[in-house]
Structure 1
């Protein structure tokens, strides 16, 4: 039986007792606080959000103590936006509240300069209020001052600290020493340092490093001696700072000091003149600890310090740092480390080469992965698994299968990761189902078919090929519940247009007490959106479940629910969901924009786009094409031109989809000249682009040009479709070319296999009506394989009136 994490046990306890605990009681606050601490310790944002939701839904809102801790939790779990939203909603704020939000901005300052500016702005607001500040207020503010890069900001806060009597507080003065040191103001830093009553090793090292980096040789060595005499012992950082610096200075005095420092370090076991092994071991250990803690960028900084310190890296170093780079998906950094591996000749070591393949695979660089693999003199199962997975992810199914066959020929035994990867590759092949069944048999013989990776991959490959019966058998044979398999099964039902079964699976999971995740809810929302006939009812249940389980803040879940409401035509709920998304990404913005267009609210789609641009999110080609379509529907040329300007600015002018939409928009707005100018600039064989131009010409009375364009299409071997012939027949109708219209109508079926639809018959009836051939028009209507539309009768009536034959028009009007 699996042990549940402590944070989940605490949450379960809270869930079971929440009904019995008064939210305002001290015992309740204490219990929520213990869970929030667990969320912070595990950096588990989802747990924190669920606790917040439970606090809100368990009765009254959180008290000041809990709210302050919620702000701190959001900050430490990396959700500054949630912390700020909670802060803004607080009716009354005490100093702890202000300190918490300032600490949140200081914590997030490294990722965004705007966070620094906003954090300092909050500090100005705090000073204007009646709340008194403390050392815990100034600590995060001083951190933001340093990151801002502006010395005057730090000096202003220093002055404020003097004014309120906190200049010599250990926390404040220590931070100021660090700031002045970093800005090269060594004298100011030293004055503060000398005036401090208590100084720890970290502060001595900060000051020492400042001397080292500014090249003040005599002062630095004198300071190191004072450090030694202070009663505190210089540590490894102190010694390395001095040794690295002295080694660069070529003078007898410095060399003599270097020997003294080395002797001191050896005495304290901080320096081993005989062995570098312990040195690289400690560096590797530090690297590994950073990676295990999930602090990838700290690990990268540590590696950079290793290189600067001229520490001889080994294979362990490279394996650890390459896994770190794969985690942050930094291809350029990965290439630099690959260069170091080549230089040190460790690239031929199997473990290092495997790590390189994995790094390039994560970065979607199949070519580089293959290049590393081909250079390997020796490969193992991990090498082949990594390469097969890389090919599968890159859509190179045949190459993955060839690697798998080679693996079997070499006598290697595939494991669950091999099977899962090769099954994923098979799903992209035409004969993938047959190959997948053979691999399924192999997995049964090997005894690994019950593995969760393998069963999930089997369900996925069978679902993608429409073979749901086999997928159901695999799911039914699973020995225990596997959420990934159930999610894959739900998605398979949706792909096979059986969304009812997908929702039934979701219901079974819920009633069986099985936990779901963001993928489950997103898939269920997609299933609900496929069942438009049922309305938003099933989707609303999924939405409620997402709120209850705390997944409503997940961007993927929100986007799925948003799309569901849009497809069900419930735009009110869609706008509510969208406005509750803290930071919509490009997909969410585009979904909302296209939803407005699909539901006939084109004007609102343009205003949402304006908000999208203000938020700093750039549109993609699909967003822009949708907005151009909105302008077309509104026949609004001015907004269309503004979007065209954005298309040019964002370099999407050459995209066929966007260009087609622009041509169509200019044509529908009556600006045929600009439409034709755009069309001629596009050297594209896409029939949609040609259709847009042809139909535009036909609808605006340029019949001759439209028919000429159709002839050019044929010379370029562009196959016309149903829309093309609507344009051609419309052009014939407007030009009075009745016989030509019937000729094209005949060729449409015989030569191009396009079956006539209502729109094609409409064009013929219109052509006959314009020519005064009303009896022929009536005969054509009677011969149609489907019932005539009201618009067709109205067109005929209009033609009758033009020809002053109202007696034939009135009966048709009554029939229509």
Structure 2
């Protein structure tokens, strides 16, 4: 049934007046601000000053440092929904030359404001010098921005777009941008007009350039622009027009030609051209006069210099802007307020705090430090270049402040992660009687606790700001972050007009709070109302589909994207890819990935990870090689995923190559990669290398110790595992967790340490306060079963506070088979079949118990029951990797191309090991046949076939590594011991339970498995 969003105003949203707010915090003093903040500050907000680190990375141009900071931000729970933080990260990646990372963050943002769009457009514009191919993608982003109904363009948006026009080869693009600037009334902005003149002259559109030039107010045309226009005439060979234009330049009352202007004209025409002689003589005479006179008015000089600086700054030529500033001071021209504002803005663009400090010092002597506008620019400069302390000093030493000053400082605190400080300053603003505006509220809402969100909400109602898009979206986001989706929903439904940003915020709020169904209802309502979602909306709904594990819903989103031609959007296609992977639909996931025009490292890693998660490990390495061929380099997560795939396929050589690549890429020190490597070597039967890697690891945390502990347990090195557990507590000073105790109990189980298992099981509860999960009980049951204490194990299962699992009963039933306990086996099998009636292993194990006791009629009954219920046994198989190819064998398998040679090898090795003392154990043949036939059937078990092929194919110095999907049988275990001795080979077998390392006739398990 469709739910309608119709509900009343929540009582928790009762208005709180500004007067009440001030009185509530009237006792704030320097001594008790911390306690006051504790009442109102959001505990969910990060207190870590991330932004100084981000700006340090920018100032140093240190991408590695920036990535490390980003990684820490992610591990502390920050997501791309933190708009201010993500905007700065986009800026950092852009300035450090990592445009793909900046774009990935942009695509992942659920809500984008104008700053976000300006930042990513500026990133593409900045990258065009070295990567001209980015121009088209920059234009595509601009088109997406134009389709966005919740963002209004400003003149700052046009700066990067105009640079894209300048860098492109499409004059029509420039004409379109020109037309749009006229449409929204920004064509009169000086830097837009100036840039258009520059662009048209580049394309030799002198007439169009002159039209724009003439429409500009005379006082807005600086020397640089006059020279650009003059150069265009000269370049086009328009001699007469050039001279007349230079004459107009000379008669202009605001600026006059400089030496560069005259040189441009004089050098532009041939000395042999008689027709130009008269013009050139006049210009040369003027040049001589200009070099001996300087009657310019000082104020006009300042204006001219400022306009030149501003032109360079707004066109992105920041170095030239600073050069003009320095030349201005060398010329003894007195700086004014505008000079310092423009130069400080240029410092922000250059991310040069030292230069900013020098300009700050220059502003002190003429007294501009007390100027409000200059001080505001100083606060902005220091905060955006990572010098928050200096920004604070400027703010608190200001004799006069305005709301811009307070907004700048509050926003500086928020962007630096100092939420407590931002709230304190906001309270002080209220105490001083200042009126917050929409920018103040939007900034402080990012730092709000639940209580303060209510109070700010009330204030917006009182001041009439609740309908401001920026403020209302911030309120919805703040309520959602505090888990108050009802209040967020109320705000959303109270809006009188459609606002896509608010819809996106509300949808994301539902998903973040686990209400994916409500997110879908809201999206459906949006569609019924005829409102058009954007790429962010669709990508957010992909997340909802992922949480619901519903590819059906996701395919609807995919279909909508295809229909409206937005499926190529990188963020949306990445979200579709992630959705299909999480829903287990790898066919559609591969289709989405293959249709992506330029997958980034995140998309490549996602498809690789998806293959691993959905048991398609063989395809992983093919994709990895394609990734390298495409020029995309793997990151730490990619390497960790590849290593995991290597461990699942036990492809030791492949994993070693990935390890080497991780070292070359400087990713091997990453904790996740290191842990994956320790686990990989252990699972590939190389426990020594795993342990050596563990010892060399610099970063010590519980995850790495757990990986090593579990690896030792799987090898049956119980005593070493327990010694490592003691070192974990005493030397590493780490606290064990649930995974640690799974490793400890597993080690006890594989080594027959029953008393130790009980001891650690009880210590987990009594000493560490860890409540055992079913995995811990399973380990203890397995330990008791292996030790022959079957009734004790059965009683333990009955005493558990939760329902037993099928794997627990299977372990106990297998123990009954090994002990030949038919009575307990029947009881356990019955319980297992009640729990999982179609589990084949229950019938097989029970049948094996009967066969071991020669009760063949009961064996037949068990097999008959399986047939009646259409239950099929999973076949046992073994495989071995030779020359990067997996060779799979089943019992009596003759499908291999070299099967004839393999069977001859089996016959030979059986003959040799019999001479060494091997006696086939026919008790493991669960068939009612003659003894000779039983013996012969043992020869061709899958593990023996795999080992025979390994002896044929691998060098003598290479360890033979075999994996079996089931438990290795007792006869094969005995035979492999003899093979290792007779052939002098090390053989590692990994079965369903553990590892067996055979060497010189001895197995590492001590015949206890």
Assess same fold via TM > 0.5. yes
Q: CA deviation at 1:735?
A: 1.9
CA distance in 2, matches of 1:199, 1:646: 66
For structure 2, list consecutive stretches of 5 or more residues without a partner in the other structure: 1-134, 148-160, 175-201, 204-233, 247-258, 834-841, 843-1009
Counterpart in the other structure of 1:576: 591
Quickly say closer, same or farther: Cα 1:691–1:397, change in 2 above 3 A.
same
- Residue 645 of structure 1 deviates from its aligned partner by 2.8
The whole-number CA distance in structure 1 between the counterparts of 2:738 and 2:783 is: 18
Other-structure match for 1:529: 546
Aligned pair partner of 2:428 in 403, 406, 411: 406
Q: For residues 667 and 317 of structure 1, do their structure 2 counterparts lie closer, same or farther at Cα, with a shift above 3 Å needed?
A: farther
- 2:480 paired residue number: 463
Of 666, 684, 689 in structure 2, the residue corresponding to residue 669 of structure 1 is 684
Q: Is the 8 A contact 1:49 1:550 kept in 2?
A: no
Q: Is the 8 A contact 2:410 2:444 kept in 1?
A: yes
The 1:318/1:476 distance shift into structure 2, 3 A limit, reads: same
Residue 319, structure 1, aligned to residue 345, structure 2: no
Counterpart for residue 389 of structure 1: 411
In structure 2, distance between residues paired with 1:41 and 1:620: 27
Instruction: Choose the corresponding residue for 1:773, options 789, 799, 816.
Output: 789
Structure 1 residue runs without a partner (length 5+): 1-39, 53-72, 81-98, 105-138, 141-192, 206-211, 240-256, 427-431
Counterpart among 698, 704, 710 of residue 713 in structure 2: 698
- Alignment pair present for 1:753 and 2:769: yes
The answer as to whether partners of 1:668 and 1:696 remain within 8 angstroms in 2 is: yes
- The CA deviation string for residues 83-107 of structure 1, in whole angstroms up to 9 with x for no partner, is xxxxxxxxxxxxxxxx989x99xxx
Structure 1's 371 and 756: CA in aligned 2 closer, same or farther, altered over 3 A?
same
Contact persistence 1:331–1:360 (CA under 8 A): no
**Comparing both chains, which one has the higher relative contact order based on Cα–Cα distances under 8 Å and sequence gaps of 6 or more?**
2
Query: For residues 79 and 558 of structure 1, what CA distance do their matches in structure 2 show?
Result: 28
- Aligned counterpart, 2:351: 331
**Rounded Cα–Cα distance in structure 2 between residues aligned with 1:260 and 1:456:** 61
Aligned to 1:45: 140
**TM-score scaled by structure 1?**
0.65
Decide whether aligned partners of structure 1 residues 364 and 490 sit closer, same or farther in structure 2, where only a CA change above 3 A counts.
Answer: farther
Aligned to 1:417: 439
TM-fit CA distance, 1:686: 2.3
Find the residue that maps to 1:562 and give its secondary structure.
helix
CA contact 2:309–2:324 (8 Å) conserved in 1? no
The CA distance in 2 between the partners of 1:272 and 1:556, in whole Å, is: 58
Change beyond 3 A, Cα 1:78–1:45: farther
Indicate whether 1:621 and 2:636 are aligned: yes
Q: Give the conservation status (yes or no) of the 8 Å contact 2:748–2:754.
A: yes
Give 1:509's match in structure 2, choosing from 526, 537, 547.
526
2: CA distance, partners of 1:662 / 1:387 = 46
Deviations for 1:580-606, whole angstroms, at most 9, x for unmatched residues? Answer: 323333332332222222222233333
Structure 2 CA distance for partners of 1:335 and 1:226, relative to 1, 3 Å? farther
Asked if 2 retains the 8 angstrom alpha-carbon contact of 1:624 and 1:643, the reply is yes
* 1:508-533 Cα distance to aligned partner (Å, 9 max, x none): 3333233433322222222222211x
| Gap change, CA 1:415 and 1:681, over 3 Å in 2 | same
Shift of 1:47: 7.3
Question: Which residue of 1 is the match for residue 740 of structure 2?
Answer: 724
**Deviations for 1:117-167, whole angstroms, at most 9, x for unmatched residues?**
xxxxxxxxxxxxxxxxxxxxxx99xxxxxxxxxxxxxxxxxxxxxxxxxxx
Matches of 1:769 and 1:690, distance apart in 2: 27
Q: Distance in 2 between matches of 1:636 and 1:347?
A: 67
- Distance in 2, Cα, partners of 1:465 & 1:809: 54
The answer to whether residue 838 in structure 2 is matched with residue 743 in structure 1 is no
Contact 2:321 2:343 in 1 (8 A): no
- Provide the C-alpha distance between the structure 1 equivalents of 2:753 and 2:734, rounded to a whole number of angstroms: 24
CA contact (8 A) 2:322 2:346 kept: no
- CA change 1:778–1:501 in 2 (3 A) is closer
Instruction: Select which of 257, 262, 277 maps to 2:299.
Output: 277
**Quick one: which of 367, 372, 383 aligns to 1:350?**
372
Matches of 1:726 and 1:234 in 2, distance apart? 95
**Shift, 1:750, TM fit:** 2.6
* Equivalent residues of 1:228, 1:234 under 8 A apart: no
Deviation of the 1:668 alpha carbon: 1.8
Give the equivalent residue in structure 1 for 2:899. none
- For residues 91-106 of structure 1, what are the structure 2 equivalents within 5 Å? none
Secondary structure, counterpart of 1:466 in structure 2: coil
Aligned 1:632-711 pairs, distance under 5 A: 632-711=647-726
Contact 1:299 1:321 in 2 (8 A): no
Q: Quick check: 1:330–1:363 contact (8 Å CA) kept in 2?
A: no
Q: Following the alignment from structure 2 to structure 1, what is the Cα–Cα distance between the partners of residues 697 and 275?
A: 75
> Which segment is superposed worse, 364-373 or 452-461?
364-373
* Cα deviation digits, residues 593-634 of structure 1 (max 9, x gap): 222222222333333333333334343333333332222222
Q: Is residue 356 of structure 2 the alignment partner of residue 261 of structure 1?
A: no
Quickly say closer, same or farther: Cα 1:668–1:460, change in 2 above 3 A: same
CA distance in 1, matches of 2:498, 2:791: 71
1:440 corresponds to: 457
Q: Which has the higher mean CA deviation after the structures are superposed, 535-544 or 727-736?
A: 535-544
Q: How much does 1:568 deviate?
A: 1.4
Distance in 2 (CA, whole Å) between partners of 1:220 and 1:197 is 14
Contact 1:475 1:485 in 2 (8 A): yes
Aligned partner of 2:577 in structure 1 is 562
CA contact 2:677–2:690 (8 Å) conserved in 1: yes
Aligned residues: 603
- In structure 1, what is the Cα distance between the partners aligned to 2:558 and 2:800? 47
Q: CA separation in 2, counterparts of 1:545 and 1:283?
A: 54
RMSD: 4.4
Q: Distance in 1 between matches of 2:424 and 2:288?
A: 58
* Structure of larger gyration radius: 2
- 1:38-67 superposed Cα distances (whole Å, 9 cap, x missing partner): xx9998525768999xxxxxxxxxxxxxxx
Contact 2:809/2:829, CA 8 A, preserved across alignment:
yes
